[in-house]
Every structure is written in C-alpha cells, then in structure tokens.
Amino acid sequence: MEGFLGFVICLILFSFISGAAALDTIVPDKSMKNGETLVSPKGSFELGFFRSSKGQYLGIWYKKPRTRTVVWVANRENPLSDGEGLLVLDSEGILALLNSTKGVIWSSNTSRSAETPVARLLESGNLVVQEEKIYNEEDYLWQSFDYPSDSLLPGMKVGKNLKTGFDWFLSSWRSTDDPAPGRPAKPNSIISSQYVLNDVEVYYTYELAASSVETRTVLNSSGVVELFVWRNGNHDSELRMPVALDTCDKYAYCGKFTKCNITNSPVCSCLEGYSPQFPIDWSSGNWSRGCVRDAPWDCEKDVFLKHTGLKWPDTSNSTVNMTMNLKECKQMCLTKCSCTAYTDADVRDGGTGCLLWFGDLIDIRDLTPGGQDLYVRLAPSDMAHLDKRKRSREMKKATFMVSSVILGMLILILGLVFCIRKEKRRKEGLKKRHFRKDYMNDGEEELMLLPMFDFETIASATNNFSSNNKLGQGGFGPVYKGTLLEKEQDIAVKRLSRSSGQGHQEFKNEVILIAKLQHRNLVKLLGCCIEGDEKMLIYEYLPNKSLDYFIFG
C-alpha cells in the first residue's frame, strides 16, 4: 500500500514538474531557460531550445509529431555553443536570447516600447509581443511571422511593406542540420492564396480551406518549395508535395541577368545586351553565375528594352511608388544609376504605380503566353544592334512571306495549266471515243488498234501544212511530208479536203480496209486524225517517189 501511495505521489510530482516546464506566456519578471517551453493555447506548436551539430538554437516546432519538425528559428546564424540559453523579455517589450555569460545572441529589436509587454505563442505558430491589456492582432509590437525561416505557415506573408520597405521572404536552411539562411525564394500559389496590394503593403499569403488540415510550406536546401500536409493532426503520416514543378521553379537557377524557359534547350539564356560571365562554365551547363552587360554602364545615355511575358525578378532589392505612372517611373529609373529595370507596380486595369529594381536581376522566367512586362536598362549601342537584328528578322520574314506568295501563285498557275491540259486531253479522248463510236461497227476491232493523232501534232510535223512539204495531190485531197519530232520518224499525211466529197462512210471504209491489209509491198497506215471537220490519214513515208510516177512516168 505504501509503495502504491509513493508511486501516485511521484506521478503527481512528475506531472507537476512537467506542467511547470511548459509556460503560457513570458513577461518581464519571468524567463524561459533550456528545458522549458512555451506552448500555444491548443497545443499545436511549441517554442523551446533544440540542438544540432552546429550548436543550440531557439525555435518553434509542431508539438504533436514524434519527430520534431522545426518551422522557425530565432538565432539562425549565431548558435549557442555552451547549451545554457535563456530567453527573456525586458520592460520595453524586447525579446532577447542570452548565453551563459548574459551576452545577447539574438533579439527581437522592436522599434516600439510597451507599458506591460507580454510574449505569447499563438495557435497559428506565431510568436508575438504585445501589450498585455490590449489584444489587437493587427498591432503586434513584434511577431515571428515577419521573419520567416524556410517554412511558410498559414497566415504568413511573402511580399513587401511599401512604407517601411520591410521584406517578407523565405530562405532555406543551409543544410538539413544547419538552419543558417540558404537560398531565398518567393513560393508559388498554395491552397487558398491571396495577393494583396494597397498603399501600405504588397504581399502574398495563404489560408487553409479546412480546419482538419495542417500545412506548412518549406523551401528546402536545394531551392525547391515543398508543401507538407497533415490531416486530423496525424503528423506521423505526412503528405509531401513539391510546389516547384520544373527546373525553372528553382530560385535563381540561371543566375543574374538571365531568364529561364523550360521549353528551350538550354533552359537558361542571357537577357538581350548581356553575355555569360563565365563562358566555359556556361557552355558546360553551369548557369548559376549568370550574365553580365556587354557595354559599360552609362547613367545619362542608357535606354530601356521592353521584355514581355516574364515572371518578374526577385523584388528583394526593389522599391514601389504607387503615385507614379509608367513614364514617370522610367524617368526615376534613369536618374538613379543603380536602377536596372522598372515596370508597373500593379498590372491590373492598364497598369498603375512604379516598381523599380536595383542591382542584379535574379530569378526571371519566361511565362509566354501570359506574364508581365519588364523594362531592362541597356546601352544605346546594344539597342541599335538589337534594332538592326530586329529589322533583319522582319526583312527575312517579309522576304519569306513574299516568296511564299509568289511560290503559291506559281503553284496555282501550274495547277491551272495542268487542269487545262488535263481537260483538253479529256476532251480529245472524248472526241476519239466519239470517232470510234461513229465509225466502228461490231467486229471492227482493227480501228481500235490504230493510234489517234491530234491536229496540233500533225500540223507541227508538216510545218503547218506548208507547200514545201506537199508531196502531191490525190482525188480526195493533198498529201504532205512530215516528221514526228518525238519519234524522229518521217510520215506522209493524207489530208482529206472538206470539198472532196468523201464522207464519213468512205473515210471509215478506207481506214478499215488499209488497217486490215498488212503486206510488205503496201504502205503502212500509222494512224489517223479526226478533229472537227478535219480527217487525215497518217502513213509511213516512202522516199522512192509515188506509184503515179512509176506508172505514168
């Protein structure tokens, strides 16, 4: 019995000690040391100390999962080496992380003081400092959400305060064991996202669509943004989804003064007027060092080249003025030699405001179709060269178009000629078929075997029935000598006179008779020609004069 009571007492004491180690708030007369934590109201998040191979850090993590998942780190670049950290809040509302010698390792550096400050860890994972008696989520003296690490939690902003110039941006851990800042980034759209632009701020944030889902967005050490999703608080079974869909989604993948296009090969290219800074590395596929301007900078003579269809560069080194128009924005950029680009701050409704970039232009991507305009500073000589190239391309395009039109017309003309000739041959074929139909009776297959000559061929062969080619005159018409050019064959053409009196029947009988009679002592009938009123017989040519000469001398 005594043993059981002792066990119960020990259990109660252990519970008391464990509960005492978890604080609700931090006030000026209290502090949080190593081994103690600050827990959000519903127990979703926990603030405390954790250790890596680099040293000890103050951070925020999810309380429920067995594996600690850190979402925010205070002293990222300055770890505690002795392991004796102490988090304190002074009377003015400044949070400070002290080492064993009371040296300040990290502080919140708030610019405003408070009468009764208090530090709380909210259920959203946001560590805030505010007036204890006044609760106003829009008026925190300081909040950790203004200083993201590698994780974007619901309610965090990524963007810029236009009045103070304060930037909200993610930066990855240098490695899985080193929370020091690595690559910065602006992530893509996630779940229910919102883009806000007003007179005070321009930023991106997102909210959860369902309360049963917990998420965080992480920029990993490779520069890839990942979305982690848990359902019903089950952190042991997380769903990891990469937000970066391709190579160009990696921050600054191509380096400075470049643009990335996943459909090109290679995907990285220098902006017009710029060349690779290290050509050997560039040609080998290492584009991370980017490009440099070809011509020297000249503040007074520089011009601007308009690029379209782009994702804007990283805005870490940019300023916004919503009272300017685009023309005034250009003049403002010209007066500042370090200004490298400008554009409309708000592209909606035709564009308003002025957005200026200073220094290197990083993380540009082609978003054709779509995207925004960007006016990049350029030397006049480079602009003239680009204009010349543009005119050359336009000339080539115009020449190609004219050549295409001419070629199309030639093809059309040739097609028409082909169709006309085809139609002519079709009609000639019809005439030949009509001739055979009119002149051939059943059993007269011999006529079908005779070649049919067109009138033009015979006229050409006889030099248009020249008198110099005339061999003689028969009872029904003259006979001409001719030469078939294609076969180089001499022929004799008997051209029946229209007034000869020989009709269709007589002509048919002669053709059939001669076609049937095949003898070495008889002249050979090569074919005939029937076109309109023209009726001609084409014989092989015999050079030994006519039979009339030998009979009648």
Give the mean model confidence (pLDDT) for residues 91-105.
90
Is residue 391 predicted with pLDDT exceeding 70? no
* % of the chain surpassing 70 pLDDT: 75
Residues of the chain with CATH 2.90.10.10: 21-145
Q: What is the pLDDT of residue 152?
A: 86
Choice among 142-146, 234-238, 321-325, 420-424 with the minimum mean pLDDT: 234-238
Give the mean model confidence (pLDDT) for residues 178-188.
70
Is residue 197 predicted with pLDDT exceeding 70? no
Cβ atoms < 10 Å from Cβ of 381: 15
Q: CA-CA distance, 51 to 53, in Å (whole number)?
A: 7
Helix (H), strand (E) at residue 3: helix 2-20
Is residue 81 predicted with pLDDT exceeding 90? no
Q: What is the mean pLDDT of the chain?
A: 79
Choice among 179-188, 366-375, 377-386 with the minimum mean pLDDT: 179-188
Q: What is the pLDDT of residue 190?
A: 40
Q: What is the pLDDT of residue 548?
A: 62
Q: What is the pLDDT of residue 437?
A: 52
**Token pair of 206, please?**
């997102």
Choice among 116-130, 210-224, 417-431 with the minimum mean pLDDT: 210-224
> Which residue has better confidence, 475 or 8?
475
- What's domain 21-145's superfamily in CATH? Bulb-type lectin domain (2.90.10.10)
Q: Are 160 and 168 in contact (CB under 8 A)?
A: yes
For residue 176, give the nearest of 62, 68, 44 by alpha carbon. 68
Is residue 16 predicted with pLDDT exceeding 50? no
pLDDT in tens, 463-474: 999 989 898 887
Give the mean model confidence (pLDDT) for residues 335-348.
89
Q: What is the CATH number of domain 445-552?
A: 3.30.200.20
Q: What is the pLDDT of residue 376?
A: 94
Cβ-Cβ contacts under 8 Å for 451 (sequence gap 6 or more): 526, 527
Is residue 137 predicted with pLDDT exceeding 80? no
Could you identify the residue written with the tokens 């002795």?
A: 82
Q: Provide the CB-side half-sphere exposure for 424 (13 A, CA).
A: 10
CA distances from 179 to 49, 110, 149, 225, 265 (A): 13, 23, 8, 16, 35
pLDDT band per the 50, 70, 90 thresholds, residue 301: confident
pLDDT in tens, 27-68: 998 889 888 999 999 888 999 999 988 899 999 998 877 678
pLDDT band per the 50, 70, 90 thresholds, residue 17: very low
In terms of Cβ atoms closer than 10 Å to its own Cβ (0-12, 13-18, 19+), residue 378 is: buried
DSSP 72: E
Angle between helices 504-516 and 380-439 (to 10 degrees): 90
Q: What is the pLDDT of residue 11?
A: 45
* % of the chain surpassing 90 pLDDT: 25
Q: What is the pLDDT of residue 1?
A: 47
Choice among 160-164, 191-195, 356-360, 508-512 with the minimum mean pLDDT: 191-195
Is residue 331 predicted with pLDDT exceeding 60? yes
pLDDT band per the 50, 70, 90 thresholds, residue 553: low
Residues of the chain with CATH 3.30.200.20: 445-552
pLDDT in tens, 205-238: 766 655 556 777 777 776 667 777 665 555 555 5
